[in-house]
């Protein structure tokens, strides 16, 4: 059959850096970017309770004080870097709702690029990498969080994803610098810390001295606000103040505290149970670290992604005071987990479905599925990923010994 002109044009090979594309790949990415944005644009007018309850008033105060001069006093309970972005929005547009959402949407695209790079680094497959990028931009969790809810979880998550890309490139300093940037935006960055500690124990990429980048970048990120007049101690203790804001065992996140009846607004024994749960989280993660440290196995890209997913999921499931959005990083990690091993894509879908159902009580004031049922489903997925991690360690241990014998 004679080849058509369009087939020849779409088969033209184009190289961007070290990555090879066909023209059809770039055309698909362009269409994906445009239509993914149109989906988000249609959601822009929606005002969530977080917007009119918090963000709208913060933006009003920022405008009243002239933008960046407002950094001299406490307006929100967010850290300085996001306040810098809010100030920047006040100069660029008068449409605060659209401006704030567009900031998050921009990071949706950055996150998709990070996932593309991670998967390409591990597979050198353009097709699989594009699939990962597509999954990020079409993820209901990502779309709802940024374009519907006007939340900014995608920002710290994006920097964690770039940190993982540096990790897979064996760049310890770059990895921890990105983690430091993520931490300067959100305390939830600490969810990835157990993974990094385990990789340091296994002598895989992460070096101990590079952990210093996390506090250094946090301090540096606060300096503009300090120069503007805000108290240095106050800036350094923002996260401590945040941890004391919500006393409930869980704020609509489907974890163990939902099963124990400590979900908002109930407070049976939140203080006691939360305190015990914190120690239990440390013990569980310590057991995972002990097991992985004492086993001799080859750390493949797939195994490292599984360790990251499992440790983050264990952390969020066992720690108290988790919000409904705190599984966001889990959802993003399930994308490379599923793309690298297509048989695990149902797990990706399962985690994302639970997140969407978890969002509903806040977004539309309806519990589509009782929180306790979602907590049981989340536990099931957690066990499944844990067993998968065990099998991967076992298989790579055998391969490791076979390599030595050869």
Please write the tens of the pLDDT for every residue from 302-316.
999 999 999 999 999
Confidence of residue 406 (pLDDT cuts 50, 70, 90): very low
pLDDT score recorded for residue 264: 74
- b or e along 321-357 (b: 16 or more beta carbons within 10 Å of the residue's beta carbon)? bbbbbbbbbbbbbbbbbbbbeeebbebbebbbbbbbb
Condensed to tens digits (0 to 9), the pLDDT of residues 211-260 reads 999 999 999 999 999 999 999 999 999 998 877 777 788 989 999 999 98
Please confirm whether the linkage preceding 114 is cis (ω < 30° from 0). no
Per cent of the chain over pLDDT 70 is 97
Report the sign of the C-alpha dihedral through residues 259, 260, 261, 263, in that order. negative
Confidence of residue 193 (pLDDT cuts 50, 70, 90): very high
pLDDT score recorded for residue 3: 80
Distance CA 196, CA 212 (A): 13
pLDDT of 21 higher than 80: yes
pLDDT score recorded for residue 405: 45
pLDDT score recorded for residue 62: 97
Condensed to tens digits (0 to 9), the pLDDT of residues 37-52 reads 999 999 999 999 999 9
pLDDT score recorded for residue 240: 87
pLDDT score recorded for residue 16: 93
Per cent of the chain over pLDDT 90 is 89
pLDDT mean over 52-76 = 95
Q: Coil, strand or helix: which one is 19? A: strand
pLDDT of 208 higher than 60: yes
Cα within 13 Å of Cα(157), Cβ side: 32
Confidence of residue 398 (pLDDT cuts 50, 70, 90): low
Cβ proximity of 188 and 326 under 8 Å: yes
pLDDT mean over 100-116 = 98
Cα within 13 Å of Cα(211), Cβ side: 12
pLDDT mean over 268-275 = 84
Angle at 89 between CA 86 and CA 93, to 5 degrees: 150
pTM of the shown model: 0.95
pLDDT score recorded for residue 404: 46
Burial of 3 (0-12, 13-18, 19+ CB in 10 A): exposed
Q: Coil, strand or helix: which one is 228? A: coil
């Amino acid at each position: 059959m004679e080849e058509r002109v369009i087939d020849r044009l779409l088969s033209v090979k184009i190289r961007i850096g070290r990555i090879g594309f066909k023209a059809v790949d770039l055309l698909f990415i362009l269409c994906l970017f445009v239509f993914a944005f149109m989906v988000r644009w249609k959601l822009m007018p929606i005002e969530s309770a977080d917007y009119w309850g918090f963000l709208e008033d913060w933006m009003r105060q920022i405008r009243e004080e002239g933008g960046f001069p407002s950094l001299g006093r406490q307006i929100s309970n967010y850290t300085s870097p996001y306040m810098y972005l809010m100030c920047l929005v006040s100069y660029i547009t008068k449409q605060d709702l659209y401006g704030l959402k567009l900031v998050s949407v921009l990071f949706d695209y950055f996150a998709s690029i990070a996932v593309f790079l991670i998967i390409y680094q591990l597979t050198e497959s353009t097709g699989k990498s594009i699939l990962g990028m597509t999954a990020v931009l079409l993820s209901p969790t990502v779309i709802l969080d940024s374009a519907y809810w006007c939340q900014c979880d995608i920002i710290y998550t994006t920097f964690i994803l770039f940190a993982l890309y540096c990790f897979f490139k064996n760049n310890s300093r770059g990895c921890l610098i990105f983690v430091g940037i993520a931490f300067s935006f959100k305390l939830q960055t600490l969810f990835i810390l157990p993974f990094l500690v385990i990789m340091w124990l296994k002598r895989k990429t992460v070096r101990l001295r590079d952990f210093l980048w996390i506090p250094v970048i946090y301090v540096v990120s606060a300096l503009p606000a300090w120069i503007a007049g805000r108290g240095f101690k106050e800036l350094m203790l923002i996260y401590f103040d945040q941890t004391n804001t919500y006393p409930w065992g869980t704020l609509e996140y489907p974890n163990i505290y939902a099963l124990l009846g400590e979900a908002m607004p109930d407070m049976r024994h939140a203080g006691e149970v939360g305190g015990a749960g914190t120690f239990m989280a440390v013990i569980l993660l310590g057991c995972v670290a002990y097991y992985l440290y004492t086993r001799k196995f080859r750390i493949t890209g797939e195994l490292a992604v599984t360790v990251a997913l499992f440790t983050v999921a264990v952390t969020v499931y066992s720690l108290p005071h988790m919000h409904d959005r705190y599984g966001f990083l889990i959802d993003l990690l399930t994308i490379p987990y599923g793309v690298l091993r297509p048989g695990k894509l149902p797990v990706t879908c399962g985690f994302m479905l639970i997140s969407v159902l978890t969002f509903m009580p806040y977004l539309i004031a309806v519990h589509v599925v009782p929180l306790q049922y979602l907590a049981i489903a989340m536990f099931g997925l957690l066990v499944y990923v844990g067993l998968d991690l065990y099998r991967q360690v076992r298989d790579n241990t055998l391969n490791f010994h076979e390599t030595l014998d050869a």
